């Protein structure tokens, strides 16, 4: 099980709507990950199953979208992921040992767009 490396992606407008399903398709196309995930696809997520890196279903907490041809972190996606990690909408099935690193990853993006992660307030 693996938390992705923080990539300091550029931030999309804070008011950008978040549609995870549509973003998923755009990220796959942008990353040229038609048949299997690759490193570019991985960069859009916070966590993936390191035992099955070639399986799309092993990637969780998508926080980025393709905006103007570039991969950008979307503030509303970070907020959604943060809520899910804290149990909103049924939570997410991650190993407990990975949760602190996932939260740290998300907190860095919260800070980047001038906010504080809810678990740090």
Nearest by Cα to 44 from 94, 81, 95: 81
CA 105 to chain CA centroid, nearest Å: 9
Model pLDDT, residue 1: 73
State the average pLDDT for the chain. 94
- DSSP reduced 3-state for 70: strand
Model pLDDT, residue 88: 66
Question: How many distinct helices (H) and strands (E) make up the chain?
Answer: 4, 5
Q: Average the pLDDT over 27-39 and give the result.
A: 97
Rounded Cα distance between 36 and 55, Å, is 7
pLDDT class for 20, splitting at 50, 70, 90?
very high
Model pLDDT, residue 90: 66
- DSSP reduced 3-state for 46: strand
pTM over 0.95: no
pLDDT class for 89, splitting at 50, 70, 90?
low
């Amino acid at each position: 099980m693996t938390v992705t490396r923080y990539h300091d992606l550029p931030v999309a407008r804070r008011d950008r709507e978040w549609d995870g399903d549509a973003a998923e398709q755009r990220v796959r196309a942008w990353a040229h990950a038609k048949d299997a995930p690759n490193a570019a696809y991985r960069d859009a997520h916070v966590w993936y199953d390191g035992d099955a890196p070639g399986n799309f279903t092993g990637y969780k907490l998508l926080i980025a979208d393709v905006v103007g041809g570039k991969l950008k972190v979307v503030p509303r996606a970070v907020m959604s992921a943060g809520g899910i990690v804290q149990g909103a909408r049924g939570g997410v099935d991650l190993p407990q040992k990975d949760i602190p690193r996932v939260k740290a990853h998300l907190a860095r993006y919260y800070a980047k767009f001038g906010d504080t992660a809810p678990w740090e307030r």
